[in-house]
Amino acid sequence: MVFLSEYYGVIMVVGTANMQLVGVDLFSGAGGLSLGAELAGIDVILAVESDPFAAATYALNHHKAVIVNKDIREIKVFPDNFSLEDKKIVLFGGPPCQGFSTSNRKTNTKTNPQNWLYCEFIRIVKLVMPEWIVFENVTGFVEFASGDFLQVLIDELAKNGYKSSYEILTASDFGVPQRRSRFFLIASKSGKQISFANLTKEPSVTVSDAISDLPVLENGAVVDVLPYGASAESDYARLMRGDSEECTGHLVSKNSELVVKRYEHIRQGENWSSIPKLLMENYADCSRCHTGIYHRLRPDKPSVVIGNYRKNMLVHPWSNRGLSVREAARLQSFPDSYVFAGSIGFQQQQVGNAVPPLLAKKVFEIISKEEKAI
């Protein structure tokens, strides 16, 4: 893996008939979308990510790609030793989504500059003119600013010859043990109207299916690499393991004694409202807490949204502790061979921000099938 942050040359876009289908990932994060693309048979050859720890994670896991560790606003052209000749490009990415979230009112405004990074995605589209586009975001993107941002995206793509189709998909419908909904837009330069209707839904995967074979851990666990705690009983656990006999990511935030006492009062499926008020006195008004705060996962259901699981104090279904990095990665559908870089806080953020790879795979399979039909 090569990091390129200083040298940029000119992109040459040529005819695309009978060319190889390859991927370019913008705002790549730890690489959830890229992994989904690769699982669908698309070779990802370039990624752009400004966060150095997420870029390092990407580099550790996507050995065929060049990773540009740079703010996308600083990129005018791509590396001069990077060729797009003889390739059909799938350009994809999910601009930072915190501002589009309906639960994040502080940043949910037009004045937040982060909310305009989707325009950078459009700018790179015009620079590259890929054969296919996949734009991903939180569901709130559809209604943000009364739908203005979505309409601008569709209109700008149309001006450049792209036909767009979009849908909101829920990860738990496609083999991911998490009820996480995301917005996906697919655009075709050839004018194809893509249908999401033919996506085949899969049986539900539960939290127990996902993590019950992982090692037993304590609050504040710090040993990164461990062997498995039990045999893999579910198809999902076997899929995540592959041929691994041990894996990384068994790191757990060290919670205070007070927080652990709070955990003791929360049964599976319950949240902060089960905690005695005496233990919540440091909250000015705990009645305003989000329902996802101090939520203990149910083992017999898919997980609630992982998101910022450390900040939300998401509780392990059986133990009085938070989730380990690997447990959260399992609930996101990252395989156990996937390694996360940086301190525990950076790893948690990378996992929580990611697009579930198995959900992304379903989206990219639409494109792969269309290409095979040509």
So which residues are the catalytic ones? 97
> Scanning the structure block, which residue is given the tokens 């589009």?
100
> Scanning the structure block, which residue is given the tokens 């289908």?
21
Tokens of 69: 């560790």
CA R_g for the chain: 21
Task: List residues bridging with 164 in a β-sheet.
Answer: 187
Task: List residues bridging with 43 in a β-sheet.
Answer: 22
Are residues 164 and 152 in contact, defined by beta-carbon separation less than 8 angstroms? no
Kindly tell me the burial class for residue 322, based on how many C-beta atoms sit within 10 Å of its own C-beta (0-12, 13-18, 19 or more).
buried
Contacts of 237 (CB under 8 A, 6+ apart): 209, 210, 211, 212, 213, 330
Determine the Cα–Cα distance for residues 128 and 126; give it in Å rounded to an integer: 6
Are residues 367 and 190 in contact, defined by beta-carbon separation less than 8 angstroms? no
Contacts of 198 (CB under 8 A, 6+ apart): none
Determine the Cα–Cα distance for residues 182 and 166; give it in Å rounded to an integer: 11
Closest CA to 4 of 92, 100, 75, 98: 75
Tokens of 19: 């060319």
Cα atoms found within 13 Å of the Cα of residue 269, Cβ hemisphere only? 5
Cβ-based neighbour number of residue 341 at 10 Å = 18
Tokens of 367: 């494109």
